[in-house]
Structure 1
Amino acid sequence: MKCCLGSLYEGEPDRRGRVSWTTNYPKDLDNPPENAESAQYALIARNKKSFDGRRKLRVESIVVQSSLIKIVLGGVLEGYPGITTSLERLEFESPFEPFVHLSDPETKEHVDLLWSVLEEELKKTIREKNDHAAHGVVTFDNIWTIFEPGALVYTREEGHDRIFKLRKGSYGSNQCGRYYTLDVQFIDFDGENFGFGTHVLQIHAFGGTGLIHRLSKVRDALVARGKGPWGLIRYSVNSRVIINTYAFNQFNPNHKVSLGYLRPEEEGDDCDSDTSSIDDDVTQSNASIPLSDDQLLLCTPKLRGYSLRDKKWLTFYLHSIKDIVWNDKAFESPVAPAEQKELILAFTQSQAMNKQCFDDFIQGKGRGIIMLLSGPPGVGKTLTAESVAEAMQVPLYNGVEESLSNILEMNTRWDAVLLLDEADAFLEARSAHDLERNKLVSIFLRLLEYYKGILFLTTNRVDNIDAAFESRIHLSLQYEELDTASRHHFTPEELNRLAEVLLNGRQIKNILRTAQLLTSKQGVELRYSHVDTVMRLRALNARKI
């Protein structure tokens, strides 16, 4: 093995245009045109034969070698995508978009030299651009002349007005014909930060001229939309929804909203930034940064959220949603003893306010509240849970899907009230014959240990509840047989009576926590009457079970 370079050269093509490699050095090679002599020129123009009938040659590209020209162009073309004027070899290719988009060429000596070359090459294009602009029209072949990087682009998307900022444009073609592609960006929210998202628009080839529309008529309306609250696409929904992009990303990773970080406007325009990455030094959310009118104009009209009735993650249009009008009289509807209704409402409201204050020996365990409402159909069990959610102005999630852990996590994140209506499949005692159901119940019991939210379970049959649920239920209520509790102070005799009740550690914890939540709602100290209320209700329903 020789430690040296061996060279092969491209041979002559055969009749079918195929080539092979050879060790023979080509004999028809000319000397490289770019050499020490050519390096003396400020500019090098590469010319090709022209076939448009008006000139012999056309400039294919220009190589800028003058450092003076590069310095001036650095200021003139700053921020123009794809142009780095400090390169040793700075080359511009036809049709020379950066110079068509410039309105005023520099007048320095070296720039005049550059302009004298470009003017001859571009005068036809610039003349046509100005003529078309004066008449408010453009041809497809010249459409690139009006799409300058950073320009605002208007389109209609699914019947809605949209404004984008142009990054760059390019021609392309496929089996359907030619098109002009616009690489654009917009502002979106990923649940934590505002940022730039990217999108692609296409203009298909057309004959003759097309009209150029101005943005002035829609600008004010779109700025106002960006300031407002944020309809549904491809799905008809008429229910309450939760707007939560962060959770949408978590539970829909294949449709995750990924954005480039948006800095405050005064720190510079991100139009030519790489929107696929986020700065490493970004540690705080920019959601509190007020967006300017120019940024609001670029805001997407879409939000991501969850339809509570349809159990679906969806994309919503801004103008199709509105704030919920809560029914502040909802808790008057359930027919139940006043003491029982007060206990339930105190229980849930205090849990919402103090859910981080109570913990088990194992961190994160035992922070939730579980209530069992039993009784025959039509007595108000489901209505109670619905009324509690309405009174607390929080979402009500009714039902269980395949992924129990996801449902529990979603409800915890939203501070929602979770209702498992007619939950007999979970509550009934396990048997040796239904192994699949036993497995489901076991998983459900384990998840409940770490659930931090409020859970209502309703059942029409309380005579066959699994023993494992009894110690996990903080409050169990039978609707038709509840008595009004009296109020007492603690005495040694009362403490002795409590100590004589056969309870395990978890049951003691749940009883005291329930009583504590009741006192928090009433704004008083813990008394025996509160514990007695919880104990009596527990004992009454235990006898029924």
Structure 2
Amino acid sequence: MSGEKDAPKKSDEAEKSNSDTVEKGDQTLKDDKPKEPEVPHGSLTEAKALYGKKDSDGKYQWETEEPVDAVDAAENEKTARYAFLVRKQISYDSRKKYDIHSVIVQSPWLKKALGVVLEDYPGITTNLDRLVFRAPFHPFVHRWTRLADMLEKNEFEEEFQREHLQLFHDVLFEELKNAIAAKTDLVKNGVITFEYLWTIFEPQTLVYSVSGGKECVFKLNSSKTLTDQRRGLDFLQLDTWSVDWDGVKFGQHMTYLQDYEFTGTTPITSLHAYPLEFHPEKEQLMARLLHRGKLFESFAGYHYKAYRGVALGYGRCGMIRHNIESRIIIDCEAHNRFLPNNAVYFSPLISRTRKAPRVAAVSDDDAEENENDQYEDAIDLFVDDFDYLGVPDTEDDGTKPERRPLTTEELLLAVSYVRGYAIKTKKWLWFYVDQVEEIKFAENAFASLVLPKEQKSLIRAFVESQVKYKDDFDDVIAGKGRGMIMLLAGPPGVGKTLTSESVAEDMRVPLYVMSAGDLGIDPSGIEESLNLVLDMVSKWNAVLLLDEADVFLEARSSNDLERNKMVSIFLRVLEYYEGVLFLTTNRVKNIDEAFHSRIHVTVNYPSLSTESRRHIWQTFLGHDHPIGSKDLDRLAKVNLNGRQIKNILKTSQMLARSQDNQAPVPAKDGKRGPVRVEMRHLETILAIERGTSWE
């Protein structure tokens, strides 16, 4: 039994031995196979192709094996022989089998002909080696009439041109005939649908719209259909530009206009924005806009004007409206310096010279006839006869950079506003150019000052010399000590503020009134604000009035370090101020000693004399008043200052209007005239103000 059991075991050992021998033999064969030589990384002068293949997750994996379903390139030497290639894809429109995806133009003759058809069309260069047009072929819908006209004239130098263009026309017509027919029919009836709204907006079209309540014209760059997710509506967005001024140059101000989706048809003129050619009073509109454009051009640079009406200002959520009646300073360069976060800079205007399209397929004369600018002829109607509008040509007054005048089309495209500063409200705003007015200066403002003749002559001479000849004197350090600083000291109501106002009025320059509240109390911000104000005032040749300047002039002490900082800042900044500065104070004895060396003239105002008060009463009452000479003498004896006299007279006017039911006296300029004030009205107010015995 033991022998029977040992036999199988022996057999198993034999099998194992044989198996080991085979495995060792295979390994010996593998080891004997020659190995590939090792090659340094990236050293083979070959390109190895890897082929993308999507996996089950839709992600691309890269393999070395070429896909079995790959096909040869469709464009090859054989297809290069054709005038153009039409790439088609299966259509989901039940009316046709295929949609045209794109057209590849290869014929040089066809390219030349299309160069005429699509001349100046943005984004298209027809002389490219590979010229591709993709659906929905907007350029050909816009220029279809021009393409058809070229075929109809049939004046080609070579037959290939005619044949290739005709074939191109026929192929595209099958794709575009619905859009072309719809556009023609809709425009003929003066209406449009939202589906075909894009067909009337060819790039470079002049577009009419109302912006900020003002009629405007824009030039179209492009259009595209988008969706307003908030409103759940589609809209056609128009990428347009107009002509604006950024303080240095005229440029293109980009603006987006929208026409929202609507059902059915709507009149073209009811759209928020539509091509200018559809405007029912196009010629009259263009005349108005050319007039406004001339005004806009004349306001480039710095100008001191008056304004009455609505202006636009900056708010937290966009532009807000302000009612303004103020003198203004038009200066976009200063606007950009004061408001760097709202600064405007534009792409410069491109000076383009119009020329007739030239192509080998068309003669020069015929090419000129083929020129199809839908607005140029209408614009030219106004060019020669533009003088009747009464707007003077812009003149270079030495303060403006040299620049070419705006073309007629650019005048049409000019924005309706200019940027500037309202002096009364101290706000930077956008002012509509058709509401800007000339300033009506008070002719006798300086003469009405109650000051000794010598003082008045001295003040006027100093200010006039500083405004006109401020660069004649310089300190040892360049730019230092060029300003003129005058201190006006005296009790309230004696004419300190009126002096600076009258001087500015007499010199026809702006008056910038600054108080401590405008600069704040933080020393770190005062210097920056003060420097900025002084720079602008000097640039404008304005008179600067720092009213009630005691907070900056008061002598320094060891007890108030913050106050000392403000005084030191003010002293340092004044050294480099180059304009005229009036400082007013009621406490001249408290002025810091360091200011005395910086003040060029100090004018002390005593309390008003009887004669001075009589002059003030006479001035405020005017020439045509019922107050007799004796009554004026009585009034002059009352110890009042100039401001009190003005307030009493103003209150008396209101009393006279109320008691006597007086109608305002009409004035020639449309403003209400003064109410007739009598002595009894003045006596009533004085009795209330000063007691029963006012004399």
Q: TM-score range by the shorter chain?
A: 0.7 to 0.9
2:236 counterpart of 1:110: no
Partner of 2:384: none
Q: TM-score, normalization: structure 2? A: 0.64
- Structure 1 residue 266: deviation in Å? 4.1
Q: Which has the larger radius of gyration?
A: 2
Q: Whole-Å Cα distance in 2 between the matches of residues 237 and 62 of structure 1?
A: 58
Structure 1 segment 197-236 matched on structure 2, within 5 A: 197-213=253-269, 214-215=278-279, 216=282, 218-228=285-295, 231-233=310-312, 234=320, 235-236=322-323
Which of 23, 42, 50 aligns to 1:2? It is: 42
Deviation at 1:224, TM superposition (A): 2.0
Residue 582 (structure 2) aligned to one of 432, 453, 456: 456
Partners of 1:21 and 1:468 lie apart in 2 by 82
2:477 partner SS: coil
Cross-structure match for 1:97: 138
Structure 2 residue aligned with 1:281: none
d(CA) in 2 for partners of 1:24 and 1:177?
49
Task: Choose from 237, 245, 257 the match for 2:344.
Answer: 257
Q: Which amino acid aligns with 1:76?
A: V
Identical-pair percentage: 47
Change (3 A) 1:302 1:444: same
| Superposed CA offset, 1:19-58 (max 9, x none) | 4444443222111111121111110001122222221112
Counterpart of 2:235 in structure 1 is: 179
SS in 2 for 1:180: strand
Q: How does 1:332-351 map to 2 (within 5 A)?
A: 332-351=447-466
Query: 2:53 matched to 1:11?
Result: yes
Do the aligned partners of residues 267 and 61 (structure 1) sit closer, same or farther apart at CA in structure 2, a change above 3 Å counting? closer
Instruction: Flag structure 1 segments of 5+ consecutive residues without an equivalent.
Output: 272-283, 483-545
Q: In the TM superposition, what whole-angstrom CA distance separates every residue of 1:209-267 from its partner, at most 9, and x where no partner exists?
A: 12113231532222222223674112232221111011112222222222222255647
Cα distance in structure 2, aligned partners of 1:7 and 1:454: 79
Per the TM alignment, residue 428 of structure 1 is displaced from its structure 2 partner at its CA by 0.8
Helix, strand or coil at the partner of 1:436:
helix
Return the letter of the residue paired with 1:152: L
**Cα distance between partner residues in 2 of 1:303 and 1:406:** 21
| Mapping of residues 306-385 of structure 1, within 5 Å | 306-385=421-500
Shift of the 268–414 alpha-carbon distance from structure 1 to 2, 3 Å rule, reads farther
Residue 159 (structure 2) pairs with residue 44 (structure 1): no
**How far, CA to CA, are the matches of 1:131 and 1:297 in structure 2?**
30
Give the counterpart letter for 2:71 in structure 1: D
Task: Decide whether aligned partners of structure 1 residues 263 and 453 sit closer, same or farther in structure 2, where only a CA change above 3 A counts.
Answer: same
Sort the Cα spacing of 1:327 and 1:219 in 2 relative to 1 into closer, same or farther, 3 A.
same
Partner of 2:330: 243
Aligned partners of 1:264, 1:84: CA distance in 2, in Å?
A: 20
Secondary structure at the aligned position of 1:361 is classed as coil
Change in Cα spacing, 1:20 to 1:177, as seen in structure 2 (3 Å) is farther
The more displaced of 57-66 and 166-175 is 166-175
> 1:164: how far off?
0.2
- Aligned residue number for residue 181 of structure 2: 127
Between the two proteins, the alignment pairs up a number of residues equal to 468
Any gaps of 5 or more consecutive residues in structure 2? 1-40, 152-161, 270-277, 300-309, 313-319, 357-372, 374-398, 520-525, 609-695
- CA distance in structure 2 between the aligned counterparts of 1:286 and 1:25, rounded to whole angstroms: 66
Following superposition, the deviation at residue 142 of structure 1 comes to: 1.0
Per-residue deviation, 1:361: 1.4
After TM superposition, give the deviation of residue 109 of structure 1 in Å: 2.2
SS at match of 1:11: strand
In structure 1, the residue matched to 2:501 is: 386
Residues 477 and 243 (structure 1), Cα distance of their counterparts in 2 relative to 1, 3 Å cut: same
In structure 1, how many angstroms separate the alpha carbons of the residues matched to 2:48 and 2:216? Answer: 58
* Structure 2: distance between partners of 1:46 and 1:178: 29
Q: What secondary structure is seen at the aligned counterpart in 1 of 2:87?
A: strand
Report the residue type matching 1:313 in the other structure.
W
* Residue 297 to residue 429, structure 1, CA distance change in 2 (3 Å): same
- Sort the Cα spacing of 1:267 and 1:460 in 2 relative to 1 into closer, same or farther, 3 A: farther
Structure 2 partner of 1:80: 121
Give how far 1:287 is off: 6.0
Preserved contact between residue 264 and residue 289 of structure 1 (Cα < 8 Å): no
Rounded to whole Å, the distance in 2 between the matches of 1:385 and 1:477 is 12
Instruction: State yes or no: 1:27 paired with 2:153.
Output: no
Does the CA contact (< 8 Å) of 2:494 and 2:607 recur in 1? Answer: no
- Aligned residue type for 1:433: N
| Residue 140 of structure 1 pairs with residue 194 of structure 2 | yes
> Could you tell me whether the CA contact under 8 Å between 1:193 and 1:285 is conserved in 2?
no
Residues 362-384 of structure 1: per-residue CA shift (max 9 Å, x gap) = 11111100000001111110110
Q: CA deviation at 1:13?
A: 4.7
Q: Comparing both structures, which one devotes a greater share of its residues to helix?
A: 2
Native 8 Å contact 1:192 1:287 kept in 2: no
Taking a change above 3 Å as real, the CA distance of residues 420 and 73 of structure 1, as seen in their structure-2 partners, is same
Deviations 1:338-361 (A, max 9, x none): 110111011101111111111111
CA–CA separation in structure 1 for the residues paired with 2:450 and 2:605: 9
Cα deviation for residue 157 of structure 1 reads 1.3
Of 429-438 and 102-111, more deviation after overlay is shown by 102-111
Normalised by the size of structure 1, how large is the TM-score?
A: 0.81
